[in-house]
Structures are given as C-alpha cells and as structure tokens.
Amino acid sequence: MDILVVGSGGREHALGWKLSQSTKVGTVYHAPGNGGTKNNVPIEAHEIEKLIQFASEKKCLTVVGPEVPLAAGIVDEFVKRGLEIFGPTRDAAQLESSKVWAKNFMKRNGIPTARFEIFDDAKKAIEYARSAAWPLVVKADGLAAGKGVIVCNSSQEAISAINKILVEKSFGSAGLKVILEERIDGAEASYIAISDGTVAYPMATSQDHKRIGDGDAGPNTGGMGAYSPTGVIDDKLAEEIQKDIIEKTISSMKKEGIVFKGFLYAGIMVKDGRPYVLEFNARMGDPECQPIMMRMESDLVDYIKASIGGTLASLPKISWKKQSAVCVVLASRGYPDSFPKDEEICGLDMDSPNSYVFHAGTRLVDGRVLTSGGRVLGVTGTGDTLQDAISNAYGRVEKISWPSKYCRNDIGRKGLDLD
C-alpha cells in the first residue's frame, strides 16, 4: 500500500521513515514534507480538500501528524469519502484543541489532574490570581503550537500571563479563555498510547524538554529534545497511568459518544509517586516521536491499520529495542520568538550507524538545504545506555552547522540523574 503522511515537522519525517521500512508499504508521500523527506506533495496540512483528492487518486492510507488538521476535522471529511485515515475525529481531538474542554472532561470523569478555574474576563482572572493560595500555570484554551502554557512563580507573573493572553491577544482566538491551574511540581514525562476506540496499547515512555534553555530556563517551546525510555515511569507507575488515565479516558469518551482512534498523548507530572495529567494531545508528540520511532521493533503500519479497523486486540503488544534513544532539537537562535530563515545547513551528509537526522524546519532549494522554521532538525542518537545515546546524538550535532544554530546542551541529563 502507499501512504500519505500529512505534515512537515520532525514528527512527520520520523513517522514516514518508520513506515517506509515496512514490507507492506510501497511509496510514502509527504504533504507538504520538508527538506529531508522524500516524495513531497505541494499541499499544506490544512488544505483538506486537496489532500482528499490526492489520497483518493493514489489510493493512499493517510496518516495525520499535526494537531491543526485534526482539530479542523480532516478525519471526519476523509471518512465521509470512504478514505482510510489514521487519527482522531474533530470531537475526539477536543482533548487537545480545547484545554477547557479537556479539563472539564477530566474533572467529570475522575481523571487525576491539577485544580483549576476557567476565565474569559481578565479582571476576574487577575482577582483570582492575586488570591490563589498556590502557584499557578496560565494556559490559553486553544492551539498555540506548544507556546500557550506559562508557568508562573508569583502572582505578578500570573497577572502578566493573563494580560498577555486575554488583553494583548498574543495567541489570537486560541486565547479567548484561560485556565488558571495549580502548579504541580514534580517529574514530568510523556505517556503515549495508540487506540482503536476500545483498546489502547502503550508506546515507549519518553521525556520531553519543553523550555528553551539549559536547566529548563526560559519560555516554553514546541520541544527542544526528548529521550526514551524514561526512568520517571517505572513498571508500576506505567500500569497506573495505563489504567487510571489512558484506558479511563478512552472508555469515558466512548460513554460520552466519542470514539478515540489514533495516538493519545498524556503529558504527566509525577508528584509523591502519583501521576497527574498536565495536558492531553490527540497525536504523537514532537520531539518524542523521533526517539520512539528509532526504538520501535514492531511494524508501525500493522498497528495503524488495526487502530483504524478497531482490531488492536488481535495484535501482540508492541515490541521495543532495549537501546536508549535521544533526540536533540537544533533550532535557529531567537526561537520561539523571531529567528532568521534561509540559512544553508552544512554537515548533513555524514552517515552514522548510531544516529539519524530528522528534518523539521528545512526546505530544499537547488540541492541546498536551507532553514525555514524555528525548530530545524531533530538529531537522534541511539546507544546501549542513555549516556551512549546522548554521546552519539551530540557527536552528530557537532558536525552540523549554520550561522544561527542553537541547541540545549543538557538533553537526557535528567535521565542520568535518575540512575
């Protein structure tokens, strides 16, 4: 079968890379893809009708990477046309597209999460922030490319965040409402599962590094690196998350008339041995996807087909390489704010058996790879130990250059500290 991967980031490059290894798969197309993906189709991820036309003509199975087309109902439209597509419907994607909807869903279904209040009035939100007895996290309701969450250390920082979202409209329509949430401090990890609406199989555990700077300094980003597996989630905790969060979410949605098919991502904070949901995503994480795909032994296409067809229970649990994998995101300096573009990237042609370079914000022009986004590459290393994987990833990082190249220097160090 041929496959169409929708999206242009490192996650989509990694999904396409993994899917192309299957003996069941012919051509993997990317729409629109990037400077490192093959068989690129000049259709943007939000151009749903054009994607439908292409998938119909090529008889592709479509795999959706990013959140925006999922929130726009791409799966619903494909299903209406009788086309095979992997991912949640618009209603199911509300778990990510509306943090307000997700928090209320968790509250009414007893899924562990932080205490919260919802506001659309800046004055009332500020009054609450001044009186709150605990530190706050301020979240924009809608999709904000991973940047709509502001972790605050004081009531003044919370007030500033409220003004940024509700008054200055920094996130546009995504910030018509804000959530003021109790800040839970602990160890953060990513727990991702693939679901067919009834059954959910866990993917490998991972840990993201969301802040721009070393030591988790500075603003949140879409993710500056990740490693897998993470020691934050041991077997006992994994069982608890699987039962009390993942399976409870899938079954509770089903009771509410929503069948969740696709990747379900739970951003977890572990405090005093208990897991709490910080956020849900209705798709694979980025950059978590890159190390997870590097470690996956099973044929991904089998599980995608089973998710679509509702037959996951007929397959064995997913198998994983015992190796560790670490993804270091190379960004353009200035990200997540303004940053230069169209800088030529050098050092990409150096092969390594222990690393792979996944492209994100790149484009190919006359044989040259140029930067085109804030997060440019995801250099992913593997190794028998986490330290080996870190060394292999950063060893490859050193060989890649462009004028404004920037990366964190501590990706994976949290995992070493757990040992």
What digits encode the pLDDT tens for the residues 58-72?
A: 999 999 999 999 999
What digits encode the pLDDT tens for the residues 315-374?
A: 999 999 999 999 999 999 999 999 999 999 999 988 788 999 999 999 999 999 999 999
State the Cα–Cα distance between residues 189 and 192, nearest whole angstrom: 10
User: Rounded to two decimals, what is the model's pTM?
Assistant: 0.94
Does residue 195 sit in the same domain as residue 299? Answer: yes
Percent of the chain with pLDDT over 90: 94
- Which residues neighbour 346 within 8 Å (Cβ) at sequence distance 6 or greater? 400, 401, 402
197: left (phi over 0), alpha (psi -120 to 50) or beta: left
pLDDT reported for residue 134: 87
State the Cα–Cα distance between residues 207 and 252, nearest whole angstrom: 26
State the Cα–Cα distance between residues 288 and 205, nearest whole angstrom: 9
Number of domains in the chain: 4
Instruction: Over range 165-182, report the average pLDDT.
Output: 93
More confident residue, 3 or 353: 3
State the Cα–Cα distance between residues 72 and 163, nearest whole angstrom: 28
CATH number of domain containing 149:
3.30.1490.20
State the Cα–Cα distance between residues 315 and 226, nearest whole angstrom: 28
Does residue 129 sit in the same domain as residue 57? Answer: no
In a domain, 109, yes or no: no
Does residue 377 sit in the same domain as residue 400? Answer: yes
State the Cα–Cα distance between residues 408 and 207, nearest whole angstrom: 15
C-alpha distances in Å from residue 295, one per residue of 38, 161, 291 = 22, 38, 6
Residue 380, classed as helix, strand or coil, is strand
Does residue 272 sit in the same domain as residue 242? Answer: yes
In a domain, 364, yes or no: yes
C-alpha distances in Å from residue 112, one per residue of 105, 126, 146, 402 = 11, 26, 22, 44
Instruction: Over range 398-415, report the average pLDDT.
Output: 97
Does residue 248 sit in the same domain as residue 269? Answer: yes
Does residue 199 sit in the same domain as residue 133? Answer: no
C-alpha distances in Å from residue 121, one per residue of 165, 170, 173, 306 = 11, 15, 14, 45
CATH number of domain containing 351:
3.90.600.10
Q: How does residue 418 score in pLDDT terms, banded at 50, 70 and 90?
A: confident
Q: What value does the mean pLDDT of the chain take?
A: 96
Instruction: Over range 93-115, report the average pLDDT.
Output: 96
State the Cα–Cα distance between residues 196 and 309, nearest whole angstrom: 7
Task: Check pLDDT > 80 for residue 145.
Answer: no
What digits encode the pLDDT tens for the residues 108-132?
A: 999 999 999 999 999 999 999 999 9
pLDDT reported for residue 118: 96
Out of 135, 151, 182, pick the residue that ends a domain: 182
Q: Which residues pair with 5 in a beta bridge?
A: 30, 63
Residue 155, classed as helix, strand or coil, is helix
Does residue 169 sit in the same domain as residue 192? Answer: no
Q: At what angle do helices 300-309 and 10-19 cross, to 10 degrees?
A: 100
Task: Check pLDDT > 70 for residue 419.
Answer: no
Residue 170, classed as helix, strand or coil, is coil
In a domain, 279, yes or no: yes
CATH number of domain containing 25:
3.40.50.20
Please give the order of strands across the beta sheet that includes 261-271: 200-202, 187-196, 261-271, 274-281
Does residue 286 sit in the same domain as residue 223? Answer: yes
pLDDT reported for residue 26: 98
Residue 153, classed as helix, strand or coil, is coil
* Distance of alpha carbon 407 from the chain centroid: 18
State the Cα–Cα distance between residues 257 and 273, nearest whole angstrom: 33
In a domain, 99, yes or no: no
Q: How does residue 168 score in pLDDT terms, banded at 50, 70 and 90?
A: very high
Residue linked to tokens 């949140």: 220
In a domain, 236, yes or no: yes
Domain that holds residue 45: 3-90
